[in-house]
């Protein structure tokens, strides 16, 4: 296969939720797509729908970022075949469980997907991004990055890594053609289980909630406007200020009580669905 002369955007975790919404947003701007997600999540059908609606080229690759070689497999698919100018590291997982109740594999999966895949895929594809007049990297963190939580523990820590990594890399690349941005979504109802968990948190859990479609529009517009830190919506901006000003001794027990409701609600979440993709 000869390398395409078209420019593409690559989106991880593209089959649903935020990633799917970003795929539609980019396609509406006539940007060709490389979609990456787990097997069996309908990437082929999604690609066909986007092609038919927007007339852009859409290719896909199925992989599991928990597997060590997966980031290399994606890079080896992209680099020889496609001209990549936009990378969106959206794939992410998390859940709400008491730390001592989860398996080591549960913890390792969050680390592998949220931290390793984001940083390694960026490193592997950065040389390709630098070949373009304008290159963009968008990493999806979370408002949870700004505070630790009980009963989540590893997830907000992993998103704090994504935030710090993104800001550090942008400073490193500020004199190059590649711009790095990080978005911190608040609650987003990406699927039935996430919706149930948000509802269990009550009013505090729903603060700053933005639909996937609105979030995607804000993210892509601000990325192209070269905003390095994206806080979608007024409430999330207010929450960011409040969390920055509040000491952990104050915010940690309050936020943890909100999250605790997910575990001890009268309507328990299916344990099999405790790890959720973005």
CATH number at residue 47: 3.40.50.720
Residue scoring higher pLDDT (26 or 234):
26
Residue 173 covered by a domain: yes
Of 217, 234, 110, 215, nearest to 161 by C-alpha is 110
Does residue 24 carry a catalytic annotation? no
Contacts of residue 197, defined as CB under 8 A and 6 or more positions apart, other chains included, come to 96, 205, 262, 269, 276
pLDDT at 274: 38
pLDDT at 207: 54
Residue scoring higher pLDDT (194 or 264):
264
pLDDT-derived band at 104 (thresholds 50, 70, 90) equals very high
Q: How far apart are CA 100 and CA 252, in angstroms?
A: 19
Residue 202 covered by a domain: yes
Of 266, 263, 246, nearest to 254 by C-alpha is 246
Q: How far apart are CA 244 and CA 33, in angstroms?
A: 36
Is residue 133 exposed (0-12), middle (13-18) or buried (19+ Cβ within 10 Å)? exposed
SS3 233: coil
Query: Would the pTM of this model clear 0.85, i.e. be above it?
Result: yes
pLDDT at 249: 84
Average pLDDT of the segment spanning 90-115? 94
User: How far is CA 72 from each of CA 31, 60, 123, rounded to the nearest angstrom?
Assistant: 24, 15, 11
Q: What domain count does the chain have? A: 1
Residue 61 covered by a domain: yes
Q: How far apart are CA 84 and CA 78, in angstroms?
A: 8
User: How far is CA 276 from each of CA 30, 91, 103, 134, 176, rounded to the nearest angstrom?
Assistant: 30, 10, 15, 33, 35
Average pLDDT of the segment spanning 130-137? 96
Q: Which of 8, 24, 136, 155 is catalytic?
A: 155
pLDDT at 190: 53
Indicate if the pLDDT at residue 195 is higher than 50: no
Residue 2 covered by a domain: no
SS3 38: coil
pLDDT-derived band at 83 (thresholds 50, 70, 90) equals very high
pLDDT in tens, 197-237: 444 444 554 555 678 999 999 999 999 999 999 999 888 88
H or E segment at 70? helix 70-78
Residue 1 covered by a domain: no
Indicate if the pLDDT at residue 181 is higher than 90: yes
Residue 208 covered by a domain: yes
Q: How far apart are CA 161 and CA 220, in angstroms?
A: 21
Helix pair angle (117-129, 70-78), 10° resolution: 20
Indicate if the pLDDT at residue 23 is higher than 90: yes
Strand-pairing partners, residue 140, are 183
For 119, the domain range is 7-277
């Amino acid at each position: 296969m000869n390398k395409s002369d078209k420019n593409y955007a690559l989106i991880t975790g593209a089959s649903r939720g935020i990633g799917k919404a970003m795929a539609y947003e980019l396609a509406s701007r006539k940007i060709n797509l490389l979609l990456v997600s787990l097997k069996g999540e309908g990437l082929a059908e999604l690609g066909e729908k986007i092609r038919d609606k927007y007339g852009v080229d859409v290719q896909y690759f199925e992989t599991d970022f928990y597997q060590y070689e997966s980031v290399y497999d994606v890079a080896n698919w992209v680099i020889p075949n496609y001209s990549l100018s936009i990378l969106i590291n959206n794939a992410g997982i998390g859940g709400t469980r008491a730390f001592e109740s989860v398996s080591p594999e549960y913890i390792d999966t969050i680390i592998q997907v949220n931290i390793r895949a984001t940083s390694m895929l960026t490193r592997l594809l950065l040389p390709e991004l630098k070949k373009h007049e304008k290159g963009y990297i968008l990493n999806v963190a979370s408002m949870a990055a700004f505070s630790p939580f009980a009963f989540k523990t590893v997830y907000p820590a992993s998103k704090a890594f994504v935030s710090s990594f993104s800001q550090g890399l942008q400073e490193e690349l500020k004199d190059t053609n590649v711009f790095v941005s990080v978005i911190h979504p608040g609650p987003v109802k990406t699927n039935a289980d996430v919706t149930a968990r948000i509802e269990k948190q009550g009013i505090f859990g729903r603060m700053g909630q933005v639909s996937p479609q609105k979030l995607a529009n804000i993210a892509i517009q601000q990325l192209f406007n070269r905003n390095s830190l994206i806080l979608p919506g007024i409430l999330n901006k207010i929450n960011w200020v409040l969390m920055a000003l509040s000491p952990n001794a104050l915010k940690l027990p309050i936020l943890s009580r909100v999250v605790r409701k997910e575990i001890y609600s009268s309507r328990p979440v299916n344990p099999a669905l405790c790890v959720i993709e973005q």
